[in-house]
Structure 1
């Protein structure tokens, strides 16, 4: 990857480029509407740097307010993502994560897979397997 490793920090949260097509977002504690707006800006910037990418979101130690969920579903673009992996989500977070992804798919131009795993290692494994499947499909 020509681009140097990059990291964005805001409030108690951070997003970092981990590979040529993957970024990891770590959220701690409350996620405010302002945090969500900044997250969306970072995700858009990542798309300009990486093209479509995998986003791994560690959300198990966070909570997002309703306005933030709505903002994400209305402002993030499905074409930014190859896949979305939520790490450590509880049942409520899984429900909202699926709803946000569905909303992006209905308003976007492309589709992407969304999954939920328990650990960051599981997320990396899922991304590696998904990449391999996509490469086999592409032939």
Structure 2
């Protein structure tokens, strides 16, 4: 994948930035339908190559059915790492619960990191990207 791409649905936006970064920004309550749409985008991108994901959740909340959908349908093989931006206490707890659920199901281990700003998230992405290049 070499071209920038962008999807907008409801108050949410997902953007692919070459070579391997997806930046998602969610606003308001994320419904099951929006979770399905997001998963379809991640599936499409992940089928072409794994990617790093920066998710801005500062102004969002995840519906219970949407959270369950993500746990059941996200595939760690699509992801190289995830950085959440602006997550509050409840969101961090929910994210850690999702990470544990993914790990316990044997789907793999995946780093879930947290940042206060998109700039911090991008710095974490760059650091993780360099670490993975040195490992490969």
The CA deviation string for residues 39-98 of structure 1, in whole angstroms up to 9 with x for no partner, is 11111011123x111010000100111111111001101111000000000000001111
Residue 19 (structure 1) shift: 2.4
Alignment size in residue pairs: 136
In structure 2, the residue matched to 1:103 is 101
Matches within 5 A, 1:43-122: 43-49=42-48, 51-107=49-105, 109-122=107-120
SS at match of 1:3: coil
2:3 touches 2:18 (CA, 8 Å); kept in 1? no
* Cα distance in structure 1, aligned partners of 2:36 and 2:91: 19
Q: Provide the alpha-carbon RMSD of the alignment.
A: 1.3
2:2 touches 2:18 (CA, 8 Å); kept in 1? no
2:76 touches 2:107 (CA, 8 Å); kept in 1? yes
List structure 1 runs of 4+ shifted beyond 4 angstroms. Answer: none
Residue 109 (structure 1) shift: 4.3
In structure 1, the residue matched to 2:39 is 40
Unaligned runs of 5+ in 1: none
2:3 touches 2:17 (CA, 8 Å); kept in 1? no
Residue 27 (structure 1) shift: 0.3
Residue 115 (structure 1) shift: 0.4
Residue 132 (structure 1) shift: 1.3
Residue 120 (structure 1) shift: 0.4
Distance 1:59 1:97, change over 3 A: same
